[in-house]
């Protein structure tokens, strides 16, 4: 059996993500690390799949193509696919499980599938994928190659940041039901609040959109929380607009933290404090792992990419009345 990226990573004593970067983005590695990975590749007989496979056609399945996060992810996927002149076919499920089922069957007729934040249960995805090579981005499915955007470090930093500012009651505005990332983010926030002695109020599940954030405004205001962490930046921006309509301003009356760091987060006023997710790298690494799965067979590789907090103007000290 041909050597895989996992074999290289194990031989070099690095993560799969680091081993992949040696072939896709060598300039981002320290020279000693790069040399160690390349030496390991030579030792195990690894051939970079980007150069070894013929042109492939693979599906990219996303929950909502209008969401800026998936637009950023798609751009990175297309850019990486272009290096090998691979072709991509886009499938938009529109957050509809029935459409996702149908599109997985259609996508399975191609050389491979890249599933971005799929919503269906693990066992159903595995069954519908069948023998078609696939990679999952931004969700963990045991037994499948996955690229995860860390749901621990950045959200934990967000809670610690709010605690340092003096907040003692935080609300979490959840995303779509069935979202793997939302479950992890909510759990991280809950554990971080418990460690910091902060009261946490779980608001409802909302659409991952501006409209979803607006819907969360009244419940957030009624909760009495002095800060809100939201499922994503769109919900955060919609929340800010909805609270403004109620005469509540950020950060004077309530602090707001988003997740993702989409471009507009830095352009609004006040700038949105948010958890920056490695969206570009998630897209490019997912393509690399998919090409490996197509050429060498499926593995259970899991790569986790780090997140971190970006502090801007939407967070501040809680009102003195609280």
The residue ranges of every structural domain in the chain are: 5-44, 57-150+279-306, 152-277
Q: Are strands 199-205 and 169-174 parallel, antiparallel or unpaired?
A: parallel
Residue 210 pLDDT grade (very low, low, confident, very high; cuts 50, 70, 90): very high
Q: What is the pLDDT of residues 146-205, one digit of tens each?
A: 999 999 999 999 999 999 999 999 999 999 988 899 999 999 999 999 999 999 999 999
Return the pLDDT at 219.
98
Strand, coil or helix: what is 154?
Answer: helix
Mean per-residue pLDDT, 37-42:
87
- The strands making up 199-205's β-sheet, listed across from edge to edge, are 199-205, 169-174, 227-230, 255-260, 273-276, 308-310
| pTM for the structure as a whole | 0.81
Average confidence (pLDDT) over 241-268: 97
**Runs of H (alpha helix) within 197-270:** 210-223, 233-245
| Whole-angstrom distance, CA of residue 213 vs CA of residue 220 | 10
Average pLDDT over residues 36-65: 82
- N-term to C-term CA, the chain: 64
Assigned CATH topology for domain 152-277: Rossmann fold (3.40.50)
> Average pLDDT for residues 306-318, to the nearest whole number?
97
Residue in 221, 222, 309, 305 with CA at minimum distance from that of residue 272: 309
Same-fold call for 57-150+279-306 versus 152-277: yes
How many angstroms separate the CA atoms of 257 and 279, rounded?
18
How crowded is residue 31: how many other Cβ atoms within 10 Å of its Cβ?
8
Q: Is 201 helix (H, G, I), strand (E, B) or coil?
A: strand
Mean pLDDT of the chain: 92
What is the pLDDT at residue 211? Answer: 97
Q: 108 is written with which tokens?
A: 């399975």
Answer for the pair 306, 153: CB distance below 8 angstroms, yes or no: yes
| Mean pLDDT of all residues in 253-277 | 97
How confident is the model at residue 50, as a pLDDT? 53
* Average pLDDT value for residue range 204-220: 97
The share of the chain scoring above pLDDT 90, in percent, equals 76
State pLDDT tens for residues 127-155.
999 999 999 999 999 989 999 999 999 99
Distance, CA of 135 to CA of 13 (rounded, Å): 23
Displacement of CA 322 from its chain's centroid (Å): 34
Nearest to 109 by CA among 54, 58, 145: 58
Does the pLDDT at position 49 exceed 60? no
pLDDT of residue 320 exceeding 90, the answer is: no
Q: Distance between CA atoms of 176 and 232, rounded to whole angstroms?
A: 11
pLDDT band at 41 (very low <50, low <70, confident <90, very high): confident
* pLDDT score, position 85: 85
**Distance from chain centroid for Cα 120:** 17
Evaluate if residue 321 carries a pLDDT over 60. Answer: no
Whether pLDDT at 277 is above 90: yes
Q: What is the CA radius of gyration of the chain?
A: 21
**For residues 108-112, average pLDDT:** 94
Residues 18-39 have a mean pLDDT of 81
Q: How high is the pLDDT of residue 1?
A: 62
Indicate the SS3 state at residue 172.
Answer: strand
pLDDT in tens, 279-300: 999 999 999 899 989 988 888 8
Four-point Cα dihedral 200, 202, 208, 213, nearest 10: -80
How many whole angstroms separate alpha carbon 90 and alpha carbon 94?
12
Share of the chain above pLDDT 70, in %: 96
One of 3.90.1170.50, 3.40.190.10, 3.40.50.2300, 2.40.10.220 is the CATH number of 57-150+279-306, namely 3.40.50.2300
Q: Answer yes or no: is pLDDT of 313 > 70.
A: yes
């Amino acid at each position: 059996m041909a050597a895989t990226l996992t074999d290289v990573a194990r031989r070099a004593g690095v993560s799969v993500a680091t081993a992949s970067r040696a072939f896709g983005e060598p300039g981002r590695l320290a020279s000693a690390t790069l040399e160690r990975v390349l030496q390991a590749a030579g030792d195990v007989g690894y051939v970079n799949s980007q150069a070894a496979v013929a042109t492939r056609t693979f599906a990219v399945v996303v929950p909502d193509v209008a969401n800026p996060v998936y637009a950023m992810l798609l751009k990175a996927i297309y850019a990486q696919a272009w290096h090998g002149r691979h072709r991509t076919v886009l499938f938009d499920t529109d957050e509809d499980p029935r459409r996702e089922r149908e599109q997985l069957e259609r996508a399975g007729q191609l050389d491979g599938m890249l599933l971005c934040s799929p919503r269906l249960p693990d066992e159903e995805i595995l069954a519908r994928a069948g023998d078609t090579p696939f990679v999952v981005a931004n969700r963990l499915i045991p037994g499948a190659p996955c690229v995860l955007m860390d749901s621990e470090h950045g959200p934990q930093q967000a809670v610690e940041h709010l605690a340092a500012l003096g907040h003692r009651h935080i609300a979490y505005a959840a995303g779509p039901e069935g979202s793997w990332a939302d479950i992890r983010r909510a759990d991280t926030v809950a554990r971080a609040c418990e460690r910091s002695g902060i009261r946490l109020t779980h608001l409802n599940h909302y659409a991952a959109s501006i409209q979803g954030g607006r819907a969360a405004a009244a419940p957030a205001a009624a909760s009495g929380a002095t800060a809100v962490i939201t499922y994503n930046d769109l919900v955060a921006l919609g929340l800010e607009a909805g609270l403004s309509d109620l005469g509540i301003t950020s950060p004077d009356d309530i602090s707001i933290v988003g997740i993702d760091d989409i471009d507009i987060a830095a352009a609004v006023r006040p700038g949105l404090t948010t958890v920056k997710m490695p969206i570009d790298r998630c897209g490019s690494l997912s393509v690399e792992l998919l090409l490996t799965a197509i050429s060498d067979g499926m593995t259970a590789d899991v790569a986790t990419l780090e997140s971190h907090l970006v502090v801007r103007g939407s967070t501040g000290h809680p009102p003195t009345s609280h």
